[in-house]
């Protein structure tokens, strides 16, 4: 399964880069912030990045007006990173324009099987961080 995903990810990543004009790593952060704000530590963990690289990425996204930092309600020493309206619009554009079709190897699966697979993968993905 990993090999199949690895083989097909390049084309999808290129589409994401073309639509956003951002490095894939930046677009991936925006996608992860869609559901809720996160701390820098959480972002680093879910993107498998170190703290300095995450800070550089967030600084870049903030300079582009796509994210903002706000005080954490429970911890004054921590900031929460959230999408700005421009950041939300960009993620919504991605969702509308970059198709998430099944790779050709999955074409023999029924729509029901694909729906089950998507649900399973979403559950796995939601437990990454």
Asked if the model's pLDDT at residue 25 lies above 70, the reply is yes
Q: Rounded mean pLDDT of 83-107?
A: 85
- CB hemisphere CA count around 38 (13 angstroms): 20
Length of the chain equals 129
Read off the pLDDT band of 129 (50, 70, 90): very low
Which DSSP state fits 83?
E
The pLDDT mean for the chain works out to 87
- CB hemisphere CA count around 48 (13 angstroms): 1
In terms of Cβ atoms closer than 10 Å to its own Cβ (0-12, 13-18, 19+), residue 78 is middle
Q: List the CATH code of the domain at 2-98.
A: 1.10.10.10
Q: How many H helices and E strands in the chain?
A: 6, 3
Distance CA 27, CA 40 (A): 16
Please give the pLDDT value at position 119. Answer: 83
**Which pLDDT tens digit goes with each residue over 47-72?**
989 999 999 999 999 999 999 999 99
pTM here is 0.74
Q: Are 55 and 26 in contact (CB under 8 A)?
A: no
């Amino acid at each position: 399964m990993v090999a199949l995903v690895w083989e097909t990810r390049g084309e999808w990543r290129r589409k994401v880069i073309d639509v956003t004009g951002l490095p894939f790593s930046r677009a991936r952060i925006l996608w992860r912030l869609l559901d809720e704000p996160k701390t820098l530590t959480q972002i680093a963990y879910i993107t498998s990045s170190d703290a300095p690289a995450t800070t550089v990425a967030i600084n870049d996204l903030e300079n582009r007006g796509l994210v903002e930092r706000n005080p954490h309600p429970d911890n004054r020493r921590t900031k929460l990173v959230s999408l700005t309206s421009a950041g939300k619009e960009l993620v919504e554009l991605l969702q509308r324009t970059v198709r998430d079709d099944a790779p050709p190897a999955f074409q023999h699966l029924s729509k029901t099987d694909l729906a089950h697979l998507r649900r399973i993968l979403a559950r796995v993905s939601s437990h990454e961080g």
